């Protein structure tokens, strides 16, 4: 009996060790699977957000730090971009780029992109930018304007205080980065009796709220960043007691005039000084 126990005990310990090792290996395997799934998701999400790659059909798989890319694109530069994006993901050591290049490759249609994550993000960003510009404006009514964006096409609905305010809202939307077209359906309503629909500027005026210089500076800069026809990186903005000073370089008279108009339109701005805003 003792001899049996003496032989059985090492065997039992061996089985226990195998079980523990197997459990550890299984755990490591699950952890690796989760890591690879995350890497695949991160690469795919970046492709979906890229305006150059989202319309292409690219598949991604990751195995032990190697990303394998398949599918088709129309240009060599898109194939290389897909590779560089994958290499930029933490943990990806190499890329097996099997993407084919075909000049006849047809991009996905708007219907196919309808559920595209990247397109959704773009449209949501445009809507937020347009809405922000309308809310910051002293001449438009952001609170009474609904903004809907689909495939870069903006639709404005709601009410406007005047035809001038309606036109301005349309211009602000049209000049927003990423906007392809604007359908201005705002209804001009000279007088409104519903307090809930009072504009932001009217509420501020009644409450005696003073707009700070730092708020004005931030909103002017943000408006430039959102705008498609003003190079925000070349224009500096400072504000003192409502006087906005623009300094820097612009490419043309049209850009200069637009920069001035956008600054003058911000709530709280009394005057815009542009002597130091010169041409490149």
Fold match, 2-101 / 213-279: yes
Mean pLDDT value across residues 222-245? 93
Any idea which fold 117-200 has?
GMP Synthetase; Chain A, domain 3 (3.30.300)
Summarize pLDDT for 8-39 with one digit per residue, the tens.
555 555 555 555 555 555 556 668 888 999 99
Place of tokens 């007088």: 191
For residue 231, what are the CA distances in angstroms to 75, 106, 226?
Answer: 29, 33, 10
Closest CA to 93 of 36, 50, 51, 22: 36
Residue 260, pLDDT score: 95
Domain residue ranges of the chain, discontinuous segments joined by + = 2-101, 117-200, 213-279
Summarize pLDDT for 134-188 with one digit per residue, the tens.
999 988 866 789 999 998 999 999 988 889 999 999 999 999 999 999 999 999 9
Residue 70: strand, helix, or coil: strand
Summarize pLDDT for 94-119 with one digit per residue, the tens.
999 999 998 887 766 655 555 567 78
Cβ-count burial 196-233 (b if 16+ within 10 Å, e if not): eeebbbeeeeeeeeebebeebbebbebbbebbebbebe
Mean pLDDT value across residues 115-142? 85
Measured distance CA(205)–CA(178) in Å, rounded: 33
Residue 243: strand, helix, or coil: strand
What is the C-alpha R_g of the chain?
Answer: 29
Residue 212, pLDDT above cutoff 70: yes
**Which comes out higher in pLDDT, residue 109 or 132?**
132
Give rounded-to-5 percent helix, strand, coil for the chain.
50, 25, 30
Measured distance CA(236)–CA(240) in Å, rounded: 14
Any residues with CB less than 8 A from the CB of 15 and at least 6 apart, and which? none
Domain 2-101 has CATH 3.30.1340.30: yes
* Residue 40, both tokens: 């695949």
- Structural element, H or E, at residue 275: strand 271-279
How long is the chain?
A: 280
Alpha carbon of residue 177 to chain centroid: 11
The sign of the dihedral angle between the CA atoms of 74, 80, 81, 83 is positive
- The CATH classification of domain 213-279, taken from the options 3.30.420.40, 3.30.1340.30, 3.30.70.360, 1.20.200.10: 3.30.1340.30
* Residue 152, both tokens: 């870069």
Any residues with CB less than 8 A from the CB of 147 and at least 6 apart, and which? 127, 130, 131, 134, 154, 155, 156, 173
């Amino acid at each position: 009996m003792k001899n049996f126990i003496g032989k059985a005990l090492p065997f039992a310990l061996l089985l226990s060790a195998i079980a523990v090792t197997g459990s550890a290996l299984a755990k490591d395997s699950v952890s690796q699977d989760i890591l690879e799934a995350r890497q695949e998701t991160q690469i795919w999400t970046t492709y979906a957000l890229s305006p150059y790659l989202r319309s292409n059909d690219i598949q991604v798989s990751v195995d032990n730090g190697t990303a394998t890319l398949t599918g088709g694109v129309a240009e060599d530069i898109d194939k290389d971009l897909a590779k560089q994006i994958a290499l930029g993901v933490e943990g990806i050591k190499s890329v097996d780029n099997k993407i084919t290049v075909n000049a006849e490759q047809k991009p996905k249609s708007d219907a196919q992109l309808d559920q595209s994550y990247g397109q959704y993000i773009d449209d949501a960003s445009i809507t937020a930018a347009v809405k922000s510009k309308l809310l910051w404006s002293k001449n438009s009514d952001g609170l009474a304007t609904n903004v809907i964006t689909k495939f870069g096409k903006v639709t404005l609905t709601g009410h406007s205080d005047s035809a001038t305010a309606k036109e301005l809202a349309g211009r602000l939307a049209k000049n927003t980065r990423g906007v392809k077209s604007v359908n201005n359906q705002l209804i001009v309503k000279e007088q409104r009796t519903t307090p809930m629909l009072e504009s932001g500027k009217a509420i501020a005026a009644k409450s005696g709220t003073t707009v700070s210089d730092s708020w004005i500076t931030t909103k002017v800069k943000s408006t430039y960043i959102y705008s498609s026809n003003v190079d925000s990186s070349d224009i500096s903005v400072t504000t003192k007691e409502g006087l906005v000073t623009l300094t820097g370089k612009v490419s043309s008279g049209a850009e200069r005039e637009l920069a001035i108009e956008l600054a003058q339109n911000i709530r709280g701005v009394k005057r815009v000084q542009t002597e130091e805003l010169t041409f490149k």
